[in-house]
Amino acid sequence: METIKADVAIIGAGGAGLRAAIALAEADPGLKVALVSKVYPMRSHTCAAEGGAAGVIKPDDSLEHHFNDTVGGGDWLSDQDAVDFFIQEAPKELLQLEHWGCPWSREADGSVAVRPFGGMKKQRTWFAADKSGFHILHTLFQTSLKYPSIERLDEFYATELLVHEGRCHGLVAIEMKSGQFRKILAGAVIVAGGGAGRMFPFTTNGAIKTGDGMALAYRAGVALKDMEFVQYHPTGLPNTGILLTEGCRGEGGILLNKNGRRYLQDYGMGPETPAGQPVLKTMELGPRDRLSQAFWHEQKKGNTVKTQWGDCVLLDMRHLGEKKIDERLPLVRDMSRSYLGVDPVEDPVPVRPVVHYMMGGIDTDIRAATSIGGLFAAGECACVSINGANRLGSNSLTELLVFGRRAAMSAMEHLQSAKGAGDASAIDAAAEGAQAKIRELFLRPNGKESIAGLRGEMMQTMEEHAGIYREGTGLAAAAAKLAELRRRYKDIHLHDKTNVYNTDLLQALELGSMLDCAEAVAASALARTESRGAHQRLDHVERDDAKFLKHSMATFRGMDAPAIGYKDVVITRSQPGVRDYSGDHK
């Protein structure tokens, strides 16, 4: 097997991976960085983020406000030391992007503009029209081209981390264009592989978001933390799951049920505010978990609008006018028109909640370090945790930057303190083993199970039992079904046994990642017998701080169900309280 050597290997070239690579290149041009990604960096799903990135910049705002919004928004499951670090670094990172040329939208005086966002008490969401993630990703990618020390390994799919005696020494990856395995040896590895929304059938996530980074670390022995917290974004296009940004509501769009009622006022987020004049942390600017839950209740009451794509509510932006929609929400207009045939200038847009983001992920500390020496993680695949039980919109783009850079700094510290390269023969043997596992799919007789079939069953299970509201019996059924699917996965039929750009193999490996992540979601959700943030149990409707003010920790146990343990939440100055998004609270 061909070997590629680097000082630091990064898996994933989206926002977090690119930010980490640039941080390393800037800190020490002598360090060789291998940036490994299963897609070209421009294809990474950061590009699909629309609304913006949060960071305190305006004089009426304060770090304390951002802290409180984030901690309360996360239903007190965020680690408060991590949140403090995050909010302090946030404005610096967003300014750094500005200095790299990010085309942030501007005020008349040339300063950076901000927009209101759900659950935020002040306007602090920096935006580039409604393509903020796209511009962040491309600014980072283009900036990364300046640095010769960054060696990109585009379209390399990482299959396994090389861990020996508690330390990570690199990874094994398949080069897609040749189908050959490569051993990538590195003094430190940063996993920045993104989320896993594709476990669900209806998601804003692109095809690539299959939890590969999470699964790599999980199988290597790092716990997956808080996996039961899956964010539904309240406003997806009903036929495709395409996201209509929270910016729609930040700019003044309103949500209506079939009777034309601003139904959010019936779920503790009222009183009704004037259409087109959004009030922060109220009504349509409530947090995503609450809005998605309100949809579920409206559906139960029969208040939703029936469409050929299922039950919807209406996102009405007509009162914003064509000029504002074109200036602030051009992508939203384009997507609604082309994919749904509805022009938001003329008509309300039918929308429904859609799986969007994983709050949980690879357990890291505030330094982005995992429990394995030399292994770090950042971005959606990681759980630091700043997002707790419910992420506030526009915190995640900033998180990519803050913790992408932090992971890079920690990796450098590790390089300085690490002792030697590790046992070469043991690492080689691990790499050969990793290759043999996948080669076996090519060599053995055809299996009986279809990749698309198992994937469909997994998605249906997740949709049915691990959605906005859950209960114990359903979650137990989901856990059993996922265990069954993981067993049947051992017998999948690989149709394509050639080497060059084998997407049949790629989809098989991605399915393996998703099944492992899905099992961690179901097991963690089943064990958490309370309701908090995005995890709502119909059989345990109250938050239970005495028992569950804790992070769930799912540990991989091969073919057995994961072991679920708990880890204390770091509370520094905000004790759990009531999440108040009513209009008269402030």
Partner 1 sequence: MTRKVVLEVMRYNPEQDTEPRFQRYEADCEEEWVVLDALNHVKATQDPTLSYRWSCHMAVCGSCGMMINGEPKLACKTFLRDYDGPIRVEPLQHFPVERDLVTVIDDFMVKFKRVKPYLIPKEEKPVEAGEYRQTPAELKKYKQFTLCINCMLCYAACPEYGLTPKFIGPAAISMAHRWNSDSRDGGRDARQEEVATGEGVWECSFVGACSEVCPEHVDPASALQQVKIKSTVDWVLEKLVPGGKKEGG
Which residues are tagged catalytic?
A: 233, 249
Shortest distance in whole angstroms from residue 258 CB to partner 1:
22
Question: Which of 135, 225, 333, 414 contacts partner 1 by CB under 8 A?
Answer: 135
> How much is the CA Rg of the chain, to the nearest whole Å?
23
- The correct pick among 85, 86, 134, 267 for binding partner 1 (CB under 8 A) is 134
**Candidate ranges 69-77, 89-97, 425-433, 573-581; the one touching partner 1 (CB under 8 A):** 89-97
Which residue among 6, 16, 23, 47 contacts partner 1 (CB under 8 A)?
A: 47
| One of 335, 351, 479, 482 touching partner 1 (CB under 8 A) | 335
Alpha helical stretches, state H, 302-372: 321-328, 330-335
Could you tell me the sign of the dihedral formed by the alpha carbons of 527, 532, 535, 541, in that order? positive
Among 138, 318, 333, 528, binds partner 1 (CB under 8 A): 138
Q: Considering only 72-80, 103-111, 355-363, 428-436, which stretch makes contact with partner 1 by CB under 8 A?
A: 103-111
Instruction: Please tell me what DSSP assigns to residue 331.
Output: H
* Least distance between partner 1 and beta carbon 276 (Å): 21
**Closest by alpha carbon to 172, among 429, 491, 374, 490?**
429
The residue (of 463 and 471) whose beta carbon lies closer to partner 1 is 463
Q: Is 444 in the site for partner 1 (CB under 8 A)?
A: no
Q: Report the nearest approach of partner 1 to the CB of residue 526 (Å).
A: 30
Subset of 20-39 contacting partner 1 (CB under 8 A): 39
108 binds partner 1 (CB under 8 A): yes
Site string for partner 1, 445-464 (x = CB under 8 A): ------xx------------
Helix (H) or strand (E) holding 517: helix 503-527
Largest Cα span, the chain: 69
421 binds partner 1 (CB under 8 A): no
Binds partner 1 by CB under 8 A, chosen from 35, 112, 358, 382: 112
Query: Kind of pairing, strands 550-557 and 224-225?
Result: antiparallel
- Residues 476-515: x/- map of binding to partner 1 (CB under 8 A)? -------------------xx-xxxxxxx--x--------
Q: Which of residues 27, 62, 68, 95 is near partner 1 by CB under 8 A? A: 95
100 binds partner 1 (CB under 8 A): yes
> Is residue 221 helix, strand or coil?
coil
Count Cα atoms within 13 angstroms, Cβ side, for 557. Answer: 13
Round to whole Å and give the CA distance between 341 and 338. 6
Q: Which stretch binds partner 1 (CB under 8 A): 74-82, 335-343, 419-427, 473-481?
A: 335-343
For residue 343, state whether it binds partner 1 (rule: CB under 8 A).
no
Task: Give the residue with the Cβ less far from partner 1, 176 or 427.
Answer: 176
Site for partner 1 in 239-278 (CB under 8 A): 239-240, 242-243
Do residues 86 and 80 touch, judged by C-beta distance below 8 A?
no
Least separation in angstroms between residue 575's CB and partner 1 is 34
**What's the min distance (Å) between Cβ of 179 and partner 1?**
9
How far is it, in rounded angstroms, from Cα 22 to Cα 35?
10
CA-closest candidate to residue 209, choices 224, 197, 225: 197
> By CB under 8 A, which span of 96-104, 270-278, 563-571, 573-581 interacts with partner 1?
96-104
The total number of residues shown for the chain amounts to 586
Preceding amide of 513 cis, omega within 30: no
Which residue spans within 247-348 are E strands per DSSP? 254-256, 305-307, 310-316
Q: What is the DSSP letter of 222?
A: P
- For 471, other C-beta atoms within 10 Å of its C-beta total 16
Per the CB < 8 A criterion, the answer to whether 408 and 149 are in contact is no
From CA 566, how far away is CA 579, in angstroms rounded?
23
Under 8 Å CB-to-CB from 109, ≥6 apart: which residues? none
Contact characters 200-239, partner 1, x per CB under 8 A: ------xxx------------------------------x
Which of 40, 321, 473, 544 binds partner 1 (CB under 8 A)? It is 40
Chain residues 161-180 in contact with partner 1, contact rule CB under 8 A? 177
Phi/psi of residue 535, each to 5°?
-100, 105
Distance CA 383, CA 319 (A): 39
CA distances from 251 to 247, 262, 267, 289, 452 (A): 6, 16, 22, 20, 40
Smallest distance from partner 1 to CB 207, Å: 5
Number of residues that bind partner 1 (CB under 8 A): 58
Tokens read off for 113: 């503009």
Residue number, 6 or 505, with CB nearest to partner 1 = 505
Interface with partner 1 (CB under 8 A), residue from 27, 42, 63, 372: 42
178 phi and psi, to 5 degrees? -115, -20
Helix (H) or strand (E) holding 18: helix 15-27
15 φ, ψ (degrees, to nearest 5): -55, -50
Specify the stretch interacting with partner 1 by CB under 8 A; choose among 98-106, 115-123, 346-354, 538-546: 98-106
Give the interface with partner 1 as residue ranges (CB under 8 A).
Answer: 39-40, 42-45, 47-48, 92, 95-96, 98-101, 103-112, 131, 134-135, 138, 142-143, 145-146, 154, 177, 206-208, 239-240, 242-243, 331, 335, 338-339, 451-452, 495-496, 498-504, 507
